[in-house]
Amino acid sequence: MLEQCEATAQILKSLAHPQRLQLLCHLSQGERTVSELEKLCRSSQSQLSQFLQRMKSEGLVEARREGKFVYYTVADARILKLIQALHKVFCP
């Protein structure tokens, strides 16, 4: 149980930043490119790229390349369920 609590605490720590949480909320609605996220989040491409790289290394998002575009999605179905639950509670 301790291992699960530690893993869960790490995920919650990763979600604790407002910008990362906002990105995951947008990604919970489907796959997005950096350009799409830039418009939705009203943030710079370089800042978003930094957040997405960190989130990718933490296992929160996955990326796939198609031509010149990189598409991001939520990497884990459990994270997706958590984000959707948070959205229901805090963004009705």
CATH of the domain at 72: 1.10.10.10
Those residues with Cβ within 8 angstroms of residue 11's Cβ, 6 or more apart along the chain or in another chain: 60, 79, 82
How confident is the chain (92 residues) per 10-residue block, as mean pLDDT?
A: 90 91 95 95 91 93 95 95 93 82
Domain encompassing residue 20: 2-90
pTM: predicted TM-score of the whole model, two decimal places = 0.88
Structure tokens at 26: 């947008």
* Sheet strand arrangement including 69-74: 32-33, 69-74, 61-66
Domain count along the chain = 1
pLDDT at site 64: 96
Give whole-number Cα distances, 75 to 2, 31, 60, in Å.
Answer: 23, 11, 5
pLDDT at site 2: 85
